[in-house]
Amino acid sequence: MSNYKLGVEVTSAHDLMPKDGQGSANPCVELHFEGQKFRTTIKEKDLNPVWNECFYFNVADPENLPNLALEAYIYNVSKTMHSKSFLGKVRIAGTSFVPFSDAVVMHYPLEKRGIFSRVKGELGLKVFLTDDPSIRPSDPLPSFDPVVNNPPQVPNPIFDPPKERMSEKRHMFHTVPKEVHHHSTAPISEQSVKYATDQMKPEPPKIVRMYSAASQQPVDYALKETSPFLGGGRVVAGRVIRADKPASTYDLVEQMQYLFVRVVKARDLPAMDASGSLDPFVEVRVGNYKGITKHFEKKQNPEWNEVFAFSRDRMQSSVLEVVVKDKDLVKDDFVGLVRFDLNDIPTRVPPDSPLAPEWYKLEGKRGDKTKGELMLAVWMGTQADEAFSDAWHSDAAAPIDSAVINAHIRSKVYHAPRLWYLRLNIIEAQDIIIPDKTRFPDVYVKVQLGNQFLRTKAVQARTFNPLWNEDHMLVAAEPFEDPLILSVEDRVGPNKDETIGRVIIPLQSIEKRVDDRVLYGRWFNLEKPFIVDVDQLKKDKFSSRIHLRVCLEGGYHVLDESTHYSSDLRPTAKQLWKPSIGLLELGVLSADGLHPMKTRDGKGTSDTYCVAKYGQKWVRTRTIINSLSPKYNEQYTWEVYDPSTVLTVGVFDNCQLGEKGGNSNGNKDVKIGKVRIRLSTLETGRVYTHSYPLLVLHPSGVKKMGELHLAIRFSSTSLINMLYIYSRPPLPKMHYTRPLTVMQLEMLRHQAVQIVAARLSRMEPPLRKEVVEYMSDVDSHLWSMRKSKANFFRLMSVFSGLFAASKWFGDVCAWKNPITTVLVHVLFIMLVCFPELILPTIFLYMFLIGLWNYRYRPRYPPHMNTKISHAEAVHPDELDEEFDTFPTSRSAELVRMRYDRLRSVAGRIQTVVGDMATQGERIQALLSWRDPRATAIFVLFCLIAAIVLYVSPFQVLAALVGFYIMRHPRFRHRLPSAPVNFFRRLPARTDSML
């Protein structure tokens, strides 16, 4: 029987429908789940009842939870009639069930039971899963007795409501205690797609056009379509050509054969030193490659349990030697070895179980038996093997310390912490006490959460009860490690502050909310931060306190990356998550033509790895040592919740390997380039195998650092769900009901990136801060002359179609092509006579344009374009300005020149904005009587126009106006028309500008 239980806390209801004929109701809640029923107590004469009662249901089959649902019915109980009437219901799908640690109280709008039923109001529920064996299921629902009103006897170790509760009007703050146990939900099976393989000759890469010819960039910077042979078969134009052979689970990468050697332990090793001790380690050798385990001090029965992987393509020997040695200062002593013929080593293909290790007797150098045994497991496999990610790789065989390599070269999957917005409203303080009674305190509050600091404005408290009423937002990350610290400070003098008191609030005790419901305040007692005289403390009792509203917002999505390249748009609270709509699979195949990033043994080389980010999941491939054309062939999978998201893949040079004489760049990993792919531009089910140029902007200009070869497939689980998402707002509801300002979002994004970088850098191996910041575009908000020009020309290209249509219509009015003008006149007459055809004609025209453009639809993911980015012909000084630090590190004269240039550009922008404002103000001046004569003329014109339009057919007037606009040039004057002259003479507010 399953230990899982579904916990349901019925908190309250709001604004229920009156049902007792006296403007009120006697509500209770019935809960139904998998044939089990529970009921709350009855709240008499209450349209806003509060229950705070908890129930537990048995879960028979946890794997069947997504197919189940919890139903909550609210009934009005009539004691006189011994009956119940329906007030509303709530249905919660099993996909929304989360562990207790993720559960928050959610208020669900009540639904109707039938077409003719009338309901209103909301029901507050907290639904969670638990596997705590100490929790017993609630008692079954007894026969319904409207008169009995006893609370259910439910054991509730998780939620224990306080015995004394204030009335709703006086209830200021309520915190739900956190659960101390960790509950896990049922395991979710991962989907994997298998294909067959087919042997075909590789085709040469095809260069595909990225944009229209107008924005064509150099061929070397263009995307290249390839047809690689992957685990699923040959990929040709996005389609997989399968064969009869069984496919690998890794069907988006090329299969790579590896020799795996697991060194488990040794026993009964002989003593080698004169003191009778032994410092053993194992050396695994295949040809020129060797891997070394750690060594133990004075241990004859060591345990290593380390795995080594040797690429079969690089093997230059048919013999594997596993040698046990004794660590010595001068020369390591030989203890014994085990030899294997590579032709006799078995092959393991997952999902076969791992190969069992066995004991091998050690041999001497001449093949004679020696003392001791070594436990090993040796097999042939691919990168799909479970041991692949934890293995030492022959790709890392270089004259570098192996201990350092093992810490920094392995492939890993990282999960970024779940981020919350912390909303803090600092209202007031009471009974502020300061040592100097002759002055009024100048008080402010300093707030600290981890490395985040902020402060309120200073207020002079003449009544010793300062009032601030300031709202602040901070970012918190799970698990909540740092508490929220508030210090009340008194500004005694310039640069001299004294702490009056402080309060420390653990984040675990702060209420979570998922909507914009009213947040009630709570008083916190301030603690004295320093030791004072005991007599003085008795005489002057310290009873200061501070009034706060504080909560963790679960209804927002915490932005930790640029809004243009967001990879996740879900809210923080897991209960608000919708089911996934698809699967994203990425195969990181290889890189080619990389630029050398360091020098080793007199030759340029690179030690590269790739990082891919989508949602909260970051992946890092293994580091390939000493290669400018590394082959990774690693495959990763993400669940997709929104197609309007972006996958980012970056390539970096590992500078943490500790080699001497190398360019370690201050021990920062060097960025080589990155690729962004928007999922909505991908066709579902198609395999994209393109080679992406790694374009990076350097102070010397744009440079191609190499090419990255990827295989991408976006699979949709439900087309209907995906199409439905296009009708939903991209961000969660709270971003629209209670929006944050642009400045707030930018500040909070910077804090979120720093928190994510700090957490990921604490993992092993660490994902370094410079990598996280580069992948998250942390500097995207900084000023750049190049970006400003690029954005301006992007704006111009958006309106280019409008400008082209305006120019074409100008040519029609000028009769440059009489045949076209006559045809336009005919079409115009048809639309005037039959105005009901105007909108159908417009939509039919757009439909035909869409069908025509379908032939030219892009067959490739979009990629970075140097011409659109204005990176090809950018001035060197503008590049130097873009790469300058913030604040600037350049000389005063250079900064002055750039400031004057910025003033010139801003002046032109200012002029354009002013001209647009002037036109709008002239429209306002038509009826504002700022120019009494002009307004009088316009008002008289409106009266005449109203009479004429009333008595004249609209078609006739429209035809006259159209013919007048398209009249022949011989009937035109060179001077502007009277309406244009009249409009230009209208006043604007430029006269009032200083």
Q: What is the distance in angstroms between the CA of the first residue and the CA of the last residue of the chain?
A: 81
Residue with tokens 């990155």: 674
Q: What's the pLDDT tens digit per position in 761-773?
A: 988 888 999 999 9
Predicted local confidence at residue 646, as pLDDT: 92
* 3 state SS of 83: strand
Contacts with 461 (C-beta within 8 Å, 6 or more apart), sequence order: 429, 432, 440, 441, 442, 443
pLDDT, mean over the chain: 81
Helix (H) or strand (E) holding 946: helix 932-951
Q: Both tokens of residue 242?
A: 């399968």
Q: DSSP string covering 752-793, please?
A: HHHHHHHHHTTSSS---HHHHHHHTTTTTTS--HHHHHHHHH
Helix (H) or strand (E) holding 263: strand 258-267
User: Which of 409, 419, 431, 482 minimizes the C-alpha distance to 452?
Assistant: 482
Using omega within 30 degrees of 0 as the cis cutoff, is the peptide bond preceding 351 cis? yes
Residues 264, 303 contacting (CB under 8 angstroms): yes
Residues 613, 757 contacting (CB under 8 angstroms): no
**Distance (Å, whole) CA 77 – CA 75:** 6
pLDDT at 494 over 90: no
Q: Both tokens of residue 963?
A: 């013919």
Q: Assign 185 a pLDDT band (cuts: 50, 70, 90).
A: very low
Residues 542, 511 contacting (CB under 8 angstroms): no
CA separation, residue 233 to residues 190, 253, 638, 692, 981 (Å): 22, 10, 22, 21, 71
User: Which of 104, 137, 130, 133 minimizes the C-alpha distance to 182?
Assistant: 130
Q: Assign 711 a pLDDT band (cuts: 50, 70, 90).
A: very high
Contacts with 379 (C-beta within 8 Å, 6 or more apart), sequence order: 259, 260, 345, 346, 347, 348, 355
**Distance (Å, whole) CA 957 – CA 955:** 6
Which range has the top average pLDDT, 57-66, 203-212, 315-324, 704-713? 704-713
Residue with tokens 């079954």: 140
Residues 562, 776 contacting (CB under 8 angstroms): yes
Q: Both tokens of residue 465?
A: 């009860």
pLDDT at 605 over 80: yes
**Helix-strand-coil split of the chain, %, nearest 5:** 25, 30, 45
Q: Give per-residue burial for 766-796: e unless 16+ CB within 10 Å, then b.
A: bbbbbbbbbbbbbeeeeebbbbbebeeeeee
User: Which of 644, 636, 653 minimizes the C-alpha distance to 679?
Assistant: 644
Q: Assign 156 a pLDDT band (cuts: 50, 70, 90).
A: very low
DSSP 8-state class, residue 684: B
CA 834, distance to chain mean position in Å, is 52
Predicted local confidence at residue 901, as pLDDT: 80
Which range has the top average pLDDT, 479-488, 595-604, 657-666? 479-488
**Distance (Å, whole) CA 299 – CA 883:** 55
Q: Name which of 238-247, 584-593, 702-711, 847-856 the model is least confident about.
A: 238-247
DSSP 8-state class, residue 191: P
The two beta strands, 512-513 and 545-553, are parallel
Using omega within 30 degrees of 0 as the cis cutoff, is the peptide bond preceding 66 cis? no
Q: Both tokens of residue 794?
A: 């992007």
Contacts with 923 (C-beta within 8 Å, 6 or more apart), sequence order: none
Residues 199, 229 contacting (CB under 8 angstroms): yes
Q: Name which of 176-185, 238-247, 691-700, 712-721 the model is least confident about.
A: 176-185
User: Which of 589, 567, 586, 568 minimizes the C-alpha distance to 577?
Assistant: 568
pLDDT at 232 over 60: yes
Using omega within 30 degrees of 0 as the cis cutoff, is the peptide bond preceding 953 cis? no
Residues 339, 319 contacting (CB under 8 angstroms): yes
Residues 646, 615 contacting (CB under 8 angstroms): no
Predicted local confidence at residue 194, as pLDDT: 35
Burial class (CB in 10 A: 0-12, 13-18, 19+), 471: exposed
Dihedral sign computed on CA atoms, order 623, 624, 630, 631: negative
User: Which of 111, 92, 65 minimizes the C-alpha distance to 9?
Assistant: 92
Predicted local confidence at residue 177, as pLDDT: 37
Output the CA angle 221-225-231, nearest 5 degrees: 135
Using omega within 30 degrees of 0 as the cis cutoff, is the peptide bond preceding 887 cis? yes
**Distance (Å, whole) CA 663 – CA 600:** 9
Q: What's the pLDDT tens digit per position in 92-127?
A: 988 889 888 888 999 999 998 877 778 899 999 999
pLDDT at 198 over 50: no
Residues 630, 615 contacting (CB under 8 angstroms): no
User: Which of 40, 64, 58 minimizes the C-alpha distance to 50?
Assistant: 40
**Distance (Å, whole) CA 132 – CA 100:** 11
**With pLDDT > 70 as the criterion, what percentage of the chain qualifies?**
87
Burial class (CB in 10 A: 0-12, 13-18, 19+), 65: buried
Q: What's the pLDDT tens digit per position in 740-762?
A: 998 899 899 999 999 999 999 98
Residues 127, 97 contacting (CB under 8 angstroms): yes
Q: Which domains does the chain have, with CATH numbers?
A: 5-130 (2.60.40.150), 257-408 (2.60.40.150), 419-531+541-553 (2.60.40.150), 574-656+669-776 (2.60.40.150), 785-992 (no CATH)
User: Which of 86, 75, 84 minimizes the C-alpha distance to 114?
Assistant: 86
DSSP 8-state class, residue 239: E
Residues counted in the chain: 994
**Distance (Å, whole) CA 224 – CA 857:** 17
Average pLDDT over residues 550-576: 91
Q: Both tokens of residue 71?
A: 């139903």
Q: What's the pLDDT tens digit per position in 891-906?
A: 888 888 878 888 888 7
Average pLDDT over residues 902-916: 80
Return the amino acid letter for 618. W
Predicted local confidence at residue 535, as pLDDT: 55
Residues 655, 642 contacting (CB under 8 angstroms): no
Q: Assign 796 a pLDDT band (cuts: 50, 70, 90).
A: confident
CA 128, distance to chain mean position in Å, is 25
